[in-house]
C-alpha cells in the first residue's frame, strides 16, 4: 500500500515496507527519466530510500480528470502513442497504461507518464482501458 500527498508543486508518495519492490521500480523509472532527460516523466525532486519516499514535481492533473468524455480522451491518442513509442524504444513497457496514469499539464497540454509499479521489460496486458490496443489499431490504420 502506498499513500500519496499532493501539493501545488509536489507529489510525495510513501510506500509501506512490504512494497519495497514497488518502491524500487518506481524510483528506477524516475531516476531513468532524470538521467535521460525524458520530458514525459515528471521531474524527480527527492527520494529517501530509508523512509521509502519519492517526491516528484506536480505537473498537472490526470487525463481521466481533465477530459469530459471518452471522445475527448481519444483526441489525445496521437500524443499518448508518441510517448508510448519513446518509452518502449527504451526497452520498457508501462503495463498499466490508464488515463489515470497519464498526467496532463492544462496550460501546455504536455503529457506525462506516472505509476511505474508494473513497468518492466516484459509486456503484460493489464490495460483494461484498451489504450495500447487503440494505439496499435491507429498504427495499423496509418500503415494501410
Q: pLDDT tens digits for 16-50?
A: 999 999 999 999 999 999 999 999 999 999 999 99
At residue 9, the pLDDT reads: 97
Give Cβ neighbours of residue 144 (< 8 Å, ≥ 6 apart): none
Grid cell 525532486 is found at: 45
User: CA 21, CA 116: separation in Å to the nearest integer?
Assistant: 11
Residues 37/5, Cβ–Cβ less than 8 Å: no
Q: Which of 64, 76, 68 is nearest to 109 (CA)?
A: 76
Percent of the chain with pLDDT over 70: 92
Which CATH fold topology does 2-143 show?
Transferase(Phosphotransferase); domain 1 (1.10.510)
Whether this model's pTM surpasses 0.75: yes
At residue 54, the pLDDT reads: 98
- Structure confidence by residue, pLDDT tens digits, 54-85: 999 999 999 999 998 777 888 899 999 999 99
Instruction: Give, as one character, the DSSP assignment of residue 18.
Output: G
At residue 136, the pLDDT reads: 72
Amino acid at each position: 500500500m502506498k499513500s500519496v500527498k499532493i501539493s501545488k508543486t509536489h507529489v510525495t508518495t510513501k510506500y509501506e515496507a512490504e512494497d519495497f519492490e514497488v518502491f524500487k521500480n518506481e524510483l528506477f523509472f524516475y531516476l531513468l527519466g532524470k538521467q535521460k532527460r525524458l520530458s514525459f516523466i515528471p521531474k524527480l525532486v527527492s527520494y529517501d530510500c530509508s523512509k521509502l519516499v519519492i517526491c516528484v514535481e506536480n505537473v498537472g492533473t490526470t487525463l481521466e480528470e481533465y477530459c469530459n468524455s471518452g471522445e475527448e480522451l481519444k483526441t489525445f491518442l496521437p500524443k499518448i502513442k508518441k510517448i508510448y513509442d519513446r518509452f518502449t524504444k527504451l526497452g520498457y513497457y508501462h503495463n498499466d497504461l490508464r488515463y489515470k496514469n497519464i498526467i496532463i499539464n492544462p496550460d501546455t497540454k504536455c503529457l506525462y507518464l506516472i505509476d511505474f509499479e508494473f513497468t518492466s521489460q516484459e509486456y503484460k496486458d493489464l490495460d483494461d482501458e484498451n489504450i495500447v490496443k487503440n494505439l496499435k489499431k491507429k498504427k495499423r490504420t496509418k500503415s494501410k
